[in-house]
Amino acid sequence: MAKKSEIVLAEKISIISLCYNDETYIKKHFDNLSFANEIILIDNNSTDKSVEIAKELGATVILQKDKLKAECVKSAIASAKNNWVILLNCTDHLSEELINEMSSEISKPKTEASYFSGQTLFFFGKTIKYGVFLTRKKLLLFDKTRHSFTESAYNSLFKRPKLFKNKIASFAYKNFDDFSNRVNVVRKEEALVLFNKNKRPNIYHFFIKPFFIFINQFFLKLGFLNGREGFILAYIYSFSILKRYFILWLLYRNMD
């Protein structure tokens, strides 16, 4: 059983946690977040007992249904009881060092509007040490009165003004099917966003982009040094990009 965090932050915090079939993670996840004053869980159409467990543990649950993730996150931010908000996935874990670092930052007389963090990715039980995923900066903590949430800011590839020294531990994929299903959910939503923006797929999206994403991840960013897990990660990730545009192509033809 996971040990509950005994840290008390200087300011009250609301946590927004994104969920998709995470019944095996939720209890440990909530124990890790016991320092929070409020937990809001956004569920993306889970088919397991995620929602039931989250409610039993005292979380406020928002059902995404047919809405886009960004819309649900904005709604959750607006309804959050506290100004300081942490944004996570249910598969994320915050170390004691990272929690203390956040507490130290928000207790200062002058604070930033938002703080980002790197991620340590655990893939099939192995720590991924090479690849493009190591350079990603994820929005973690922000003051909702000063920071305006956007989907592009959530999954940022760019350097941000304030980056925590400690990283989020992401235990995102426990097996092949879990990884594939989670990626498919993300790509379907990305396709819907592109469709709403009237973006149309072309030959580049179907053939060239997925190929170069694989080359970049596996060779240029040294993903091959991760071993077979590195190949699986690069292959499925590049294939999922192809699937994003295939779903977009189907949307323009009114097909599921």
**Domain membership flag for residue 107:** yes
Task: Grade residue 16 by pLDDT with cuts at 50, 70 and 90.
Answer: very high
Q: Which of 41-50, 148-157, 171-180 has the lowest mean pLDDT?
A: 148-157
Range of the domain at 246: 176-251
Query: Is residue 153 predicted with pLDDT exceeding 80?
Result: no
Provide DSSP, 170-224: EEEESSHHHHHHHHHHHHHHHHHHHHHTT----HIIIIIHHHHHHHIIIIIT-GG
Please state the φ and ψ torsions of residue 117, each to the nearest 5 degrees: -145, 150
**Helix %, strand %, coil % of the chain (to 5):** 45, 20, 35
Given a cut of 90, whether residue 242 has pLDDT beyond it is yes
* Helix 176-196, helix 228-251: angle, nearest 10: 30
Q: Is the pLDDT of residue 230 over 60?
A: yes
Q: Do 114 and 143 share a structural domain?
A: yes
Establish if 3 belongs to a structural domain.
no
For the cut 90, the answer to whether the pLDDT of residue 35 exceeds it is: yes
Looking at the structure, do residues 53 and 115 belong to the same domain, yes or no? yes
CATH number of the domain within which 139 lies: 3.90.550.10
Would the pLDDT of 158 be above 90? Answer: no
Q: From 126, 143, 173, give the residue that closes a domain.
A: 173
Same domain, 160 and 38: yes
Domain co-membership, 218 together with 145: no
Residue 17 sits in the same domain as residue 130: yes
The pLDDT mean for the chain works out to 89
Q: Looking at the structure, do residues 192 and 157 belong to the same domain, yes or no?
A: no
Q: Are residues 202 and 229 in the same domain?
A: yes
Together in a domain, 69 and 156:
yes
For range 216-237, the mean pLDDT: 92
Average pLDDT over residues 93-109: 95
Checking if the pLDDT of 36 tops 60, the result is: yes
Report yes or no on 129 lying in a domain: yes
- Write down the pLDDT at residue 53: 97
CA 131, chain centre distance (Å): 17
Q: What pTM does this model have?
A: 0.87
d(CA 124, CA 23): 18
* Domains of the chain: total: 2
Tell me, yes or no, whether 150 and 223 share the same domain.
Answer: no
Tell me whether residue 256 is in a domain: no
- Whether residues 155 and 247 share a domain: the answer is no
> What is the pLDDT at residue 3?
55
Look at residues 173, 203, 219 and tell me which one is the last residue of a structural domain.
173
153 and 181 inside one domain? no
173, 197, 227 - which closes a domain: 173
Let me know if residue 5 belongs to a domain.
Answer: no
pLDDT of 1: 39
